[in-house]
Each structure stands twice: as C-alpha cells, then as structure tokens.
Structure 1
Amino acid sequence: MTDAAARPADPLSVLHRERLLPSVGTWVVLALLGAVLGVVLVPLSTTLALVVGLVGIAAMCALGALMSPVVEVSGGRLIAGRAQIEVELLEEPELLAGEDWTRVMGTGFEPLAHHCTRGWIRSGVRVPLNDDDDPTPAWVVSSRRPQDLVLALQVARAAV
C-alpha cells in the first residue's frame, strides 16, 4: 500500500465531480434550434443564412454546455449547481436508479426537498438532511455515476 492510500482523505480535495451535460438527443435539438435561426434568413441571403445558422448552432451548443450544472463533493461540501451544503449536515446517501429514481421523481416527489435534477439523466442520489433549522428534508441530485457520488459523500462525511 502506498503512502497516499494510507493517508486519510484531504477534506479540501475533490472527491467527485461531474457536469450534467445534455443527452445526445438534447444536443441534436439544440443544434436544430440554432440552425433554424439561419433557415429563417434564406429568403434574404443564402450566405447570411449559412453564417447565422452556423453561429446559431455554436451558440446553442455553448449554452447547453454552460447551463449544465456541476455536481461536486469537495472541501467538506456537496455542491449541486449553485447550491452547496456542508457534508456534516447530511445523513447516509441513498442511491437511486431505475424504479427507485422513477418513484422519487414521480409519486414520491418531495416538494420541499432541494432538487438538482435533469430529465435526461435517469439515476441519482437522495441525501436526507440532519438539520433541525432547515425545512428541507433532503437533497435529490441527478448523476450518471451515482455509485461514485455515494462513495464520495461517505468518504467526505467520514473525514469531518
């Protein structure tokens, strides 16, 4: 075992990081929306329509990437988009996939919970809060790698 593996995790290190980028289908829709901007201009000028269409495609794809939230566990915090919470206020995370995810996002939806979810991601994590001053019962976060997120939260909680 190396020295790095024997040492406890640094609470300031990044334990998990992922950007919730759109699915392939969403990228196609975004590109088509950008192209429509150019198609509208075809009666005026084909060259102008082509330039505006290409700029529109690039702009829509850039917006798709920039508007995608980042889920991160670092520095003793869970960060989901613009929101963040100390891991010491969190309880044991629950991995959600398949029918569990469908239930939490459907009939078991908690309106008071903090949600950082994306419709094109069908798995995630639900983390109950252990804070009597906060009316939020839990955080529900989409993740393409929910097992990694659960493990990172467990490691971060053990480190504090």
Structure 2
Amino acid sequence: MSDTRATTQTVRYRERLWVPWWWWLPGLGLAALIALEVNQGIKTLPNWVPFAVLLPVAVVVLLWLGRTELRVTSGEGETELWVGDAHLPVSVVARSAEVPRSAKSAALGRQLDPAAYVVHRAWIGSMTLLVLNDPDDPTPYWLISARHPDKVLAALTS
C-alpha cells in the first residue's frame, strides 16, 4: 500500500515570462501582411481564409513564446524554485544574485559555463543567478530570466 498524503504548497512568488505587449502589433501586422500576399497570389481562395488561418497562428506563437512560468513555492519545510517543469530546492543554493541588464551579455557570453541551466528570454532584461552546492548535480548554477529578480530572491530567502 502506498502513502498518498496530500501536500499543500504555498506560492510565494509567481511570474509568467510573457512577451512584451507591443510585440502583438508587429506580430499580428506581419500575419495580416502575409495573409494579404497569399490572398493576392491565390485568386481561387476565398478572401477570408488566409486571415482566418494566419492571424490565429500569430496569436498561438506569441502565447507559446510566453508559456514559461517562474514560481517560488514552499511546503513541508522545503522551498523550491520552479521554472517551467524544472525545479530546484533552495537547500542546494549556496549563493544567489541579481544579474542586471548591463551584465547580462557577459553572463550569457564569455562567462557562461556550458553545464549551467539557463532559461533566457531575450525580451526580459534582468536575470537571477543561483549558484549550487550539490555534489550529486553537475550543474554549477542556474541563470534565469526574471522581470523582478529582487522579488524572486526575496521569496527564496524568506
């Protein structure tokens, strides 16, 4: 017989890594332009079909780009950072820091360790750095895009 205890987790911080609102105008505009080109190129196709296909495709792509959720949860004495489906217990974090927009290119460029776990979204300026101290894990650190890294770090340490 297995133990099926219900676990309650409290969400301390949650952030969806959406694309900026202004990306929607060029995204839908590009889809409409391509639909217009298809409409003019294929005369036998009803006028509404390219728009009915390509505008929803643009919406789905923009929503898909912002699908990643960053959250900090606590429950049963353990605090965890979740980024999408990946999670990290705070007990293995040795140090943490905010990576400002000005240092982002260096952190992702010449200073990046190839074994690091990186979730980078180009439209988000700042990042959170979590250096790990886990002998069972070859990952030296996590580098995560976050709009409010100070709030992520505060949720991890509280």
Q: Is TM (by shorter chain) over 0.5?
A: yes
Q: Alignment partner of 2:88: what SS?
A: strand
Q: Which amino acid aligns with 1:150?
A: L
Using the alignment, how far apart are the partners of 1:31 and 1:46 within structure 2?
Answer: 24
- The answer to whether structure 1 residue 121 and structure 2 residue 124 are counterparts is yes
Q: TM-score, normalised by structure 1?
A: 0.77
Shift of 1:145: 0.8
Q: Alignment partner of 1:62: what SS?
A: helix
Q: Alignment partner of 1:91: what SS?
A: strand
Structure 1: stretches of 5+ with no match in the other structure = 1-10, 156-160
Using the alignment, how far apart are the partners of 1:117 and 1:82 within structure 2?
Answer: 15
- The answer to whether structure 1 residue 12 and structure 2 residue 14 are counterparts is no
Shift of 1:117: 0.9
Q: TM-score, normalised by structure 2?
A: 0.78
Shift of 1:151: 0.7
Residue 93 of structure 1 corresponds to 96
Using the alignment, how far apart are the partners of 2:85 and 2:144 within structure 1?
Answer: 13
Shift of 1:24: 4.3
Using the alignment, how far apart are the partners of 2:117 and 2:24 within structure 1?
Answer: 26
Shift of 1:36: 4.2
Structure holding more strand per residue: 2
Q: Which amino acid aligns with 1:58?
A: P
Q: Alignment partner of 1:64: what SS?
A: helix
Structure 2: stretches of 5+ with no match in the other structure = 1-7
Q: Alignment partner of 1:72: what SS?
A: strand
Count of aligned residue pairs for this structure pair: 145
Using the alignment, how far apart are the partners of 2:33 and 2:47 within structure 1?
Answer: 9
Residue 39 of structure 2 corresponds to 41
Query: Do the aligned residues in 2 keep the contact of 1:41 with 1:49 (CA within 8 Å)?
Result: yes
Shift of 1:70: 0.6
Q: Which amino acid aligns with 2:133?
A: N
> Alpha carbons of 1:26 and 1:108: their partners in 2 closer, same or farther (altered >3 Å)?
farther
> Alpha carbons of 1:55 and 1:89: their partners in 2 closer, same or farther (altered >3 Å)?
same
Query: Do the aligned residues in 1 keep the contact of 2:39 with 2:45 (CA within 8 Å)?
Result: no
Residue 65 of structure 1 corresponds to 63
Using the alignment, how far apart are the partners of 2:44 and 2:12 within structure 1?
Answer: 50
Query: Do the aligned residues in 2 keep the contact of 1:81 with 1:116 (CA within 8 Å)?
Result: no
Counterpart among 13, 30, 34 of residue 27 in structure 2: 30
Shift of 1:51: 4.4
Residue 3 of structure 2 corresponds to none
- The CA deviation string for residues 19-43 of structure 1, in whole angstroms up to 9 with x for no partner, is 1111345434432443244121234
